[in-house]
Amino acid sequence: MSKILVEVYSPAAGSSYDAFIPLESKMYEVAYLLANTVSELSQGYFKANPEQTIICDRSTGQVFDINRTVEELGLENGAKLMLL
């Protein structure tokens, strides 16, 4: 399984975290994984709610289509994401 390393920023926690995500995964799966991970790492500043979690591009604010894969969205190593 191919993975890429991304930086995930959480405004609620005011912190960034590095995470490996699989290229073949749909973004709704990635949102679920990242929401739970950031919730644990942020010591409660970010509350995981995978059904309402939004992942977007940190620089443009473009919200990613959760029904597309990471690869389909063209994400690469070093991508900067924001978790809302």
Report the pLDDT value the prediction gives residue 43, as an integer from 0 to 100. 84
Separation between Cα atoms, residue 46 and residue 21, nearest integer Å: 19
Report the pLDDT value the prediction gives residue 1, as an integer from 0 to 100. 67
Strands 15-22 and 55-57: unpaired
Give the pTM: 0.88
Side-chain-side CA neighbours of 31 within 13 Å: the count stands at 21
Give, for all 84 residues of the chain, the pLDDT tens digit. Answer: 699 999 999 998 899 999 999 999 999 999 999 998 888 888 878 887 767 889 999 999 999 999 999 999 999 999 999 999
The domain spans of the chain are: 3-83
Tokens of 11: 């405004």
CATH 3.30.565.10 fits 3-83, yes or no: no
Check residue 63 and give left, alpha or beta (phi > 0: left; psi -120 to 50: alpha).
Answer: beta
